[in-house]
Amino acid sequence: EAYWSIPVMVLISSLLASPKLLLHLCISTLHCIFESVFSKVRFWTAGACKVSNPPDKKLDERKDQNATTPTSVNYHFTRKCNYKCGFCFHTAKTSFVLPLEEAKRGLKLLQEAGMEKINFSGGEPFLHDKGEFLGKLVEYCKVDLQLPSVSIVSNGSMIKEKWFQKYGDYLDILAISCDSFDEATNQLIGRAQGRKSHLDNLYKIRSWCQQYKVAFKINSVINTFNVDEDMTEQIVELNPVRWKVFQCLLIDGENVGESALREAERFVISDQQFQEFLDRHSSVSCLVPESNEKMRNSYLILDEYMRFLDCREGRKDPSKSILDVGVKDAICFSGFDEKMFLKRGGKYEWSKADMKLDW
């Protein structure tokens, strides 16, 4: 301590006696500190730039090649419905519907991303604005976006002939949901409105489709109430371009679970029962079967907010809206299985201009 005390005291005395020397020493010390800090910053920045810049063009190209193209999209623009089908897996949890121009903006984004077919569904799509909102979207997709195929899935109860007169030219396919050719069974299922005949509507709409040159399609959900029915005669008579036959599917939060608005467990059938129904109708050439395995991940579904719905975990997990993040980013969270989409026959002649139909 004695050894160091004298030099230190001399140094302090010298500095106090010479303010210029003290100032110079302070400046030199600060310069060394800042130089050390900035050197580290330059090192960290250079490291970061080395990782991200320049971009890996080959990696970006591979990502683009692996990106999902929304070739066929199902847009459930409304959840409201006038029927109460016990197995419904897109229930009326909200009454939200996008403003028309926002819906059009989203459809244009999809078209620019490669969409060729749009299918409007619900809920009941003809319920909102008495079908005018739907008609304007159909016209926009066919005239402005020039989509090869524009289709609708409906329960048929709200459709009027004047809608065909105004918008029929722009529609390629109209699918009507019909689960039974027995009115009592439709009532049990919930596919009915009061005492109105669901089947009368079905046959009436079939004739309008023929008159206004719209391809007619039938969708049926096979469940415990209709699994033993033979629909061959009626389907052959109606002669739809496609008869989609779905196995009743459970979706957590929609038709099963504590937060669900439906209790669909009593409608569920086994794989064997479904196959027996298919075997019974094997002679129907337009039949397109869809088991739970085929259906769950092979549809690109947009909800009322234009969010893709991922059903891989047995529920509907939404992505961010394509209106906010674009199609490319949102579709990554869709859970879409393109191979299964093709396997189940999702791609077919879906433009009425290409169909060989007997009008």
Nearest CA to 155 out of 214, 80, 213, 98 is that of 80
Enter the tokens of residue 199: 């089947």
Catalytic hit among 32, 49, 88, 209: 88
> Catalytic one among 26, 32, 49, 85?
85
Query: What dihedral angle (degrees, nearest 10) is formed by the CA atoms of 122, 298, 314, 150?
Result: -10
Beta strands 301-302 and 317-321, pairing class: unpaired
Q: Which helix (H) or strand (E) holds 219?
A: strand 215-222
Q: Judge whether 248 and 222 are in contact, CB under 8 Å.
A: yes
Element of type H or E holding 204: helix 198-211
Given 81, 141, 209, 311, the catalytic residue: 81
Nearest alpha carbon to residue 290 among 335, 325, 243, 251: 243
Residue type, 351: S
* Helix 2-17, helix 19-52: angle, nearest 10: 100
Q: Is 32 a catalytic residue?
A: no
- CB-neighbour burial class of residue 214 (10 A; exposed 0-12, middle 13-18, buried 19+): buried
Q: Which residue has the tokens 């439906």?
A: 262
DSSP string, 110-170: HHHTT--EEEEESS-TTTGGGGHHHHHHHHIIIIIS--SEEEEEE-STT--HHHHHHHGGG
Amino acid making up residue 253: G
141 is catalytic: no
Q: Are the CB atoms for 193 and 83 separated by under 8 Å?
A: yes
Active site residues: 81, 85, 88
